[in-house]
Each structure stands twice: as structure tokens, then as C-alpha cells.
Structure 1
Amino acid sequence: MNEKFFTLSQEKQDRIVNAAFRCFAENGYRRTVTDDIAAQAGISKGLLFHYFGNKRTLYDYLFQYGLQFVGERLRALYDWEREDLFAVVLRSARVKAEIVREYPFIFRFIMNAYYEEHGETGERIKEIYGDVVKRSVEQMMQKVDWSRLKAGADARQLLNVVIWCAEGFMLERQREGTTGDPDCLCRDFEAPMQMLRDAFYESEPSDPI
């Protein structure tokens, strides 16, 4: 990859990154044509290859950049101790909604990259993403207040269900094109979270999220 890419203005970098996120997210790696990425980014195909060399280098860069960007935005969510799981999850949903304003196809791209098959590259992507998820789960397991969990309920299984629900909700809203209003997005996400809370937590008078 050519380091000159990072000398571009942030607006131009984002334009190229967003175009690539969208094309790969909508078409997958094999069916994505670099001409389409260049056209959506408003640059020549030659300039795109000048910065990234080839399609594989661009794809790998996007995956690393996407995980790093999301991780940095979410890191502040772990700066707490013994807090309610669902309060943290709803804060995370709001942060993700704000991220989608900047990079509308970032989460769809990351998930598609994880599930696509690319031989050795695909295995490396799965390993990298798996490590990120594992670290996040372990942080949540240690810091969430599990004292309200019903007898017999499994904290790790509940956390996995919440993560799957959050990822599926965001991807569905992206496909619908309804991620533009973070407040509305978070309000809609509260309902399934409240259902899980009611199912797994012992009730208290002031229970609503």
C-alpha cells in the first residue's frame, strides 16, 4: 500500500473508503469491480491502484481499518465497572449508529468479510475478527454486574445472544436504509433488549431500561 494515501485530505480518504466499503458489502469480494469503486469515489482506476496496488490489498486494508475504527469508538464503553449489561449495550448501539453516519456500509462490510471464503486470507480474517470478539466478550464478562441474573441463567450465553441480536439488528437496518436517525434506532432497539432483560433478570420496581 502506498503511504501517499494518508497524505490525502480526510474527506477524500473517506470518499474512497466509503466507496470501497459499499461495493464490497453489496457485491462481495469476487464480484466487486475496481472500476466501480473508482467511479463511486470520483477518482481514476489508475489512481486507486496507485494507492493500494491491487484489489486484495485494498480489501485487507478496509478490514483492518474498519475493525480499528469501530474498536476505538467503542473503547470508552469499557471504562466502567459493574454496570448493567443492557445499559452498556444500548450505549453501544448509539455509538454504532453514529459510526454508520460516517461509514454507512462499514458493519455490513465487516460481517460479509468474515463470512466470505478467501482461502488463507479468509482464515486470517476470521482469526482476527474472532480475537476481537473474544476480547470484547471477556471484558464484558468481567465488568458487567450479573447480580440480577435469574437463578440457572447462563451469563455467557446471554451475552452471546445480546451480541447476535445487536449485530443482526444493525445489519437489517442497514439493508433497509433506516440507520440515519440514531435516536430512532436506539428506541427501536430498546424493545428486544427489554424482552431479554425480562426473560433473564430478576424483576425490580424500576426495571425498564
Structure 2
Amino acid sequence: MTKRLPEDPAKKARMLTAAIQLFAEQGYEPTHVDQIAQQAAVSKGLVFKYFTNKEQLYLAALTAANQQFMTVIDRTVWQNSADLSAMIINATRYKIQLQLQFPAEFNLLMTAFVHQQQLPASSQAYVQKMFVANHDLTSELMTPVVALLQFKPGATAADLLEVIGYITNGYIHKIQRYLAAHPEITKIEQMEPLIQDLATKLKLVESGFIQG
């Protein structure tokens, strides 16, 4: 019986880094394993030895990108905010900072969300699971601040969270389009006009939900 050689962590890390970058830049279908192997400075056969096929490599890249954000996320950005608007603005600034720090990982995950119907079944299932987990995490992070609010009759915390979700998700896509059109942006301060526009919209929502 042939003894299986142990994996080389450095080579595997290079494969995942190359996969994240190329899948983020080109998408799933246009990206070839040969390109990933070349960028990682390994053989195509070694890529298949570690990940079996392209579908498994893409799933591994998604998982690694998501775990990167889960590892570094700072919950105090949400929970130490003074009020609802401050919490959303602080969180938005923080997400942009993370995107600028980890552009390939962020772009890969965003592309997977937008084009999930074009992905293999295993990746579609992972994206759905990740979407639910991220939604639950966001609700958990917002709960301490939302619990302090006083609502007008007929309005509830669930209503507020749903509307805030619509607005922030829309702005995340707006921010992605802006960053894609302005690759020269490297600092959060350069995004301040969009952030202040979001703050204005949140104040309008807040006045409709919360007792003054």
C-alpha cells in the first residue's frame, strides 16, 4: 500500500491565496486550475491532489475567505456605539476598512453572493449557509443597541432591523460599485461622502421609528 505523503502547509496556503485572488477577479467558470497552479508555483497535479477538483478548490477558497473575516471581526464596533445611526455608520466604516485590507477575499464572497446560481451545488449550499450565519450575526451584534430604543406604537425591533437591512445592503452594493470604479481608493476617508449620505438616510428612518 502506497503511503500518502503529508501535505505541505506553505504550498497549500499558496494555492488557496492564488485561488481566492483569481476566482475573485475572473469568476468561477473563466478561472482554470492551470492558472491557479502557475500563480501558486506548484503543479496542476498537486492542486488536484490537495483539492480533488475545481469545485472543491472553489469551495475551499470561499471557506478560507469567510473564515478570514470571522477571525478578525471586532464585535465592539457594533456593541459600543451610542445609538442606532452611530452603530450602522461605525459598522459600515469598519466593513469598508476590512474590504480595503482584504480586497480579494471580500470580492470573492460578494461575487459568490451575487452569482450564486452560477456556482456548483456545493458552493451554492455554502453561500446560503454563510448568508444565514452572517444575517444572524448582524442581528446579534445589533441587539444590545436596538434593545435600548423606544418605538412608536405599531413599530417593532424586527421591523426596524428589516428596514435597516434593506438600506445597508443597498449601500453595500453601492459602495462595491464605487470602489470598483475607483481602484485608487486606499483609505476609509476617501469614502466619507457615501458614508455621510448613508447617515442622512438612517436619520430619516430613525425619525419614523423612534420616539423623539
TM-score by length of 2: 0.73
Letter in 2 for 1:165: G
Contact 1:66 1:106 in 2 (8 A): yes
Distance 1:151 1:201, change over 3 A: farther
1:195 aligns with 2:183: no
* Alpha-carbon distance in 1 for matches of 2:95, 2:39: 24
Q: How does 1:171-182 map to 2 (within 5 A)?
A: 171-176=176-181, 177-182=183-188
1:121 counterpart residue number: 122
How far did 1:168 drift? 0.8
Runs of 4+ in 1 over 6 A off after TM superposition: 148-153
Gap regions ≥5 residues in structure 1: 204-209
C-alpha displacement of 1:195: 2.0
Tell me the percent identity: 21
Per-residue CA distance 1:119-150 (angstroms, 9 max, x = gap):
53144123312321331242145222463777
Match of 1:4 in 2: 7
2:45 maps to a residue whose letter is G
Alignment partners' CA distance in 2, 1:199 and 1:151: 18
Distance 2:120 2:109 in 1: 17
Alignment-mate amino acid for residue 172 of structure 1: R
Structure number with greater Rg is: 2
1:156 maps to amino acid: L
1:162–1:83 distance in 2 versus 1, CA, 3 Å? farther
Task: Label 1:141 to 1:36 Cα distance change in 2 as closer, same or farther (>3 A).
Answer: same
Unaligned runs of 5+ in 2: none
Tell me which residue corresponds to 1:147.
149
Contact map agreement 1:34 1:45 (CA 8 A) in 2: yes
Code of the residue aligned with 1:132 in structure 2: it is A
Q: Deviations over 1:88-127 (max 9, x none)?
A: 3333334333433443222221122233223531441233
- SS of 1:201's equivalent in the other structure is helix
Q: How far apart are the structure 1 equivalents of 2:106 and 2:43?
A: 26
| Selected match of 1:167 from 169, 172, 176 | 172
- Superposition map of 1:96-111 within 5 A: 96-111=95-110
Partners of 2:169 and 2:6 in 1: CA distance: 36
Whole-Å Cα distance in 2 between the matches of residues 189 and 121 of structure 1? 36
Which residue of 1 is the match for residue 73 of structure 2?
74
Distance 1:42 1:179 in 2: 30
